[in-house]
Amino acid sequence: MIILTGGAGFIGTNTLAALNQLGHDDIVVVDNIAATDKWKNLVNKSFRHYLPKKQLWDWLARNQAERVEAVIHLGACTDTMEHDFDYLTENNIVYSQRLWQLCTEKQIPFIYASSAATYGDGSLGFSDDHAKTAQYKPINQYGFSKHLFDLWALKQTASPAGWYGIKFFNVFGPGEDHKGRMASVANFAIPQALKTGKIRLFRSHREDCADGEQKRDFVFVGDVVSIIIHFLESSAASSGLYNAGTGKARTFNGLASAIFTALNKPVNIEYFDMPATLKGSYQYFTEADMSKLGSTGYEFRPTLLEEGIHFYSEWYLQSRQ
């Protein structure tokens, strides 16, 4: 049995679909659906139970822990504008530590979601080399909470039988509608282009960067799911932190152009000021160093941005029919 936290979320629901395709259905989905539309992500998926996140511990205490064979922990507060650090600590650190302890006691694999937000403004690079981890300086509280758990994990002398903290970069693709303001730019831009014929992007507020030339490592959700599955199935990979990006930064202008091409529309980009509250915590550049993943024997071939956007656009159009 596999515990999948965040299993009704964006990356979680795509991971659930991939596990089903591999023949896994003995899965406990843990999430915090409440009164949201995330339940729709579980339609046509196969799993044994759904548990609200607060009920997991009582459920495990009723002798269910004996059956758990692996934990994929993707549940977290991912809001980069969340300012309640106590809330972030409880969700992103304490909850993760309890799952770590479960996997350590049972000596089973533990795969968890870290984040590229741990790297801060990028001035110190984007290497997942453990020797460099402590030097990074996150620029928002979400990134700091993820960074603190990464550091905690690296210090543990007792650990699960294989643990993998996956640092997700800018993931986009089907299944993220519920994320609201934390959804990818592509999630907003595709319907915007269809409805208005234009895409609005943040204006740059740095002299060394033109409007729309901010760069991110945009990675298709199917690619990060393939990395999760790799670590679930690989017993030879060394435990630790691993980047999950493409290794190639692309501009927001390039992303918008790919969307217009996919929708057969002329390029029409409008720039606007980003909120003042975001300016100090905005990453102008991210680019994953993917060399470490290759050392695990995984031949990672990321989806080209244009291909991923074409697939996403086609999915969006079909899902609205």
What are the residue numbers of the active site?
A: 142, 179
CB atoms within 10 A of CB 37: 10
For the chain, how big is the Rg over CA atoms in Å?
A: 19
DSSP-derived secondary structure letter, 216: E
Residue 59's SS3 state is helix
Contact criterion met (CB below 8 Å) for 164 and 110: yes
What phi and psi values does residue 129 have, to the nearest 5 degrees? -65, 125
Q: Which residues contact 188 (CB under 8 A, 6 or more apart)?
A: none
What phi and psi values does residue 219 have, to the nearest 5 degrees? -125, 135
Distance, in Å, from the CA atom of 104 to the CA atom of 106, rounded to the nearest integer, reads 5
Of 114, 122, 158, nearest to 139 by C-alpha is: 122
Distance, in Å, from the CA atom of 73 to the CA atom of 24, rounded to the nearest integer, reads 17
H helix intervals, the chain: 10-21, 56-61, 85-89, 95-106, 141-155, 185-196, 221-233, 252-262, 276-279, 291-294, 305-319
Tokens standing for 289? Answer: 């160093």
